[in-house]
């Protein structure tokens, strides 16, 4: 799937940048070293990954229509 629009490309780049930023920050200084804290961090990262996947899926559907 190719991102066709510059705005779409910028959005996708920012989501990916947030993933890296969040993962790096939490690895450097974990906010909470309990099981709950670990789950929270994993869930947030997974949410960013899901947002990226959904975005690419929606864009792919739009590309199929044109």
Q: Is 5 left (phi over 0), alpha (psi -120 to 50) or beta?
A: beta
Is residue 1 a part of any domain in this protein?
no
**What integer pLDDT is reported at residue 4 of this predicted model?**
64
The span from the CA of 27 to the CA of 12, in Å, is 23
| Domain with 43 in it | 6-65
pTM strictly above 0.95 = no
> 42 in a domain, yes or no?
yes
Contact present, 23 and 42 (Cβ < 8 Å): no
Domain assignment present for residue 20? The answer is yes
Q: What is the pLDDT of residues 1-42, one digit of tens each?
A: 455 688 888 888 998 898 889 888 887 887 778 888 888 888
> What local confidence, expressed as pLDDT, does residue 66 receive?
60
User: Would residue 15 count as lying in a domain?
Assistant: yes
Number of separate domains in the chain: 1
């Amino acid at each position: 799937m190719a991102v066709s629009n510059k705005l779409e490309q910028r959005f996708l780049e920012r989501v990916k940048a947030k993933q890296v930023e969040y993962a790096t920050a939490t690895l450097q200084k974990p906010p909470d070293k309990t099981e709950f804290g670990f789950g929270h961090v994993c869930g947030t990262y997974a949410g960013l990954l899901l947002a990226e996947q959904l975005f690419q899926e929606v864009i792919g559907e739009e590309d199929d229509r044109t």
